[in-house]
Each structure stands twice: as C-alpha cells, then as structure tokens.
Structure 1
Amino acid sequence: MKPLGLLFVICSLASTGFSISCKSCWHMQDSPCNGSSVACSSDQVCVASYTLVTSVISETPQYTLSCGSRSECNLNGSLTFNYGKVRTGTSCCDTDNCIPPFPTLPPVSSQKNGLTCRACFSETSDYCYTSDRVECTGDEIKCGRMGRRLSGTVTKNDALRGCATRSYCEIFGIHMVTIQGLNVDSKMFCSDGAVALHVGLFGSIVAILLTKLLF
C-alpha cells in the first residue's frame, strides 16, 4: 500500500473513535453494583457515580454505573436544600466492563460563604418554590433548582431547590439516561443568587437523587 493510502486508512480509523462496553446498573447501597453489559458510544468511558442524601433522620446511598463522557470523571459536588444535603462523586475507567474506583464524596463544610438561596422540595412535581431560605457554605456558590421526571420501572416527578456547587450546575444537574428500565430526565437551573435562573450545562450521568423518597 502506498504511504498516502496507508495514511488515509489510519486517519479514517482514528476519526471513527473507539468504543467499549460498560456495566449498566444502579442500587441503593454504598458498594458497586453488577448489571448487564451495554455498548457505549464512541469515546465514552465507564462512569461510576455515588450519591449520598443526608437528612435529619436518615442517610440514603445511591450507586450507579453506566457509559458516560470523560468530562464526568473524578468530580464531586453537593446541593443543600431545606431538608438536607445531597453529595455526589464520580470515577471512571476505560476498558471493557471495568469497575471504576469507588467515588469520593466532597467534605461537608460549615463555613458560610455569604450566599443565601431559596430552598424547597417537592415529591409530586418537577418544580418547587417557597419562601424558605438556606445559608450556603463552602463551595456551594450557586443557587440551583433541579427537576426530575422518572418513567419506566418507576413513574415519578420531583424537584429540589437550594445551594449548589458549580459542578452540580454544569455537570451533575442535567441528565438523560436509562439504566435497568428506569428512564431519568433531570434538569438543573442555576444562578448567582438573582431572581431569574438560567439553565446549567450537563456532561451526562449523573446521579439519581432522593431515591429513598420514591419508594
């Protein structure tokens, strides 16, 4: 084969990207889950997400494993509302059906940062609004509202509003994924504390939140 032809073939192969398979599963435990293998899109990796929802009466863990973007790897963040706090961490690996290292959650900070946000929770609608407020701490420098619609094995709408880290506004907050028959459509709206909220951007996967309240 002529060098020019060989170069064309190499460039064509490179442009198609590389695909792997990942396990797809979720459960309400603080340990990895084991599910069926699914083919990922080109250049995706296996992403593990661990979320812990803490309230005054309980702690609810949630672990998910699925295909995702490299932009989701090795991140963490939190969202605080008037009934508790949601913390999420992610980790990744890039070989067929690999299991990523267990994700690390962000530490809980009590240092107030001067921002105050409205706070609410609804387990019947993907929108909520009240006069309640929460004082923000640590890296939670955004006011955010997240609404979710679940369908499939569970049909449910819920929403929460409060203080959020930048990672929740830009990475964790908006998500569309199907895992073991559960379809999750989650949207995050964030602001710097102004009345109007703008849509945050999303990398994918995220996390499935407040599952204890679904059952």
Structure 2
Amino acid sequence: MSRSSPTSTRTRPPSRRAAGTCPRSWTRHVPLGPDQAARRRGVRRVDFDQVVRLGWLASVGSVEVDFKRQGGVTTVPLYDAQEIALLEVVRPSVDWRPVRTTAAGRRSPLAVLDPSPGWERVLLAEVARIAGVVRAAVVNWRRRHDNFPDPVAGTSVHPQFDHRAVVAWLLDHDKIEVPPDRHSPRWSRPGQVPPRSGSASTTRG
C-alpha cells in the first residue's frame, strides 16, 4: 500500500480535550503515536512495541513533542491508522486474543516471535487466509488479473509473495476491508472484541 515519505514537525503535547477529538475512522490514513495506536488496537503499549520490533508496522513519519517539564524535546514516531486497523486481518497466523487480554506487567505473547524476513513472504494458502477465501480463489485471481503481485521467491509450484504488495492488491480490489474502530459504540461493552478470522496459533502455517 502507498506510504507518504517520513516527515517531522515540532509541537506541544496535545491537551486531553484535543486528544479526545482525534478522528476515529480506521479508513483514513491518520498518523498515530505509539500510545494512541496501542489504545486504538486494544493492546498494551508493550505489545504494540513488539509489533514494531517484528517489522509488521513501519513509521510513516515523526513529530517532535516539547515536554518542557520532562526533559525537553522527544521525537515520537507516527504510524498509519489504517495499517494498525488491518493488523489482525493481514496477520491471520497470529493468535491476537491473548495479546489483547494479557494482564499489565506480564510479558507480551509476541515477545516469543522472531523478526524473521519470512514474515514478509506469503504463500498462496496464506493469501487465501488473509482474504477469507479458499486457495483456488487466489489462484483464479492470479490468472484473471495481470496486476496481481509477482512472486518474489519460492518455486513455480509454491510461489512466495511480498506481504505488503499482496495486502495492497487485496485492498485495491475490495478483497479485504478495514475493520471498524474498536472505540466505536459497537465494541464499547467491556470484554467484547470484534470477530476475527484465521488460525489460533502464533506459528506460521
């Protein structure tokens, strides 16, 4: 998916009232800081930091916040709200439920995973899991659409595709949708989480 070049600006810390009026639509490419991104995703900051460590999200820019009472200027990375919203959709091999429910002070379930380049290559079967279809449907898409991403590795029988390129293609062709904001009224009751598709395993299938 397209990404704007990183930017950096200096600003004062937002007031609580201003922070509460930030846009909540996942479908917009709203830049979010790590703390805000973690809240939007419904996880702890330590879990979000693990997502970044694994390379599943990359900063789209940064902002310099002037904490005059706390040691001066701090550079805060910014992340795309839409990419954050899509995490559970595009990483179906990860069990996100324990990530959302682990108590404060406990180690993140994502800490056991290695930031392997293999996470960024997907087989046809995993593309199908992301889109919620059978493998034959993805094979058909490759046959019908000339702009389907080309393989970056693998063999003619088991081609491997770049994860980001596949996700961008699926979005552009309406094969996947951006989930609703977890802060919307639909998901406002305690303990309620949106339904998810995919495996209940943190290992790659």
Q: TM class by shorter-chain length? A: under 0.3
Higher relative contact order (CA 8 A, sep 6+): 2
Which structure's residues are more often helix, by fraction? 2
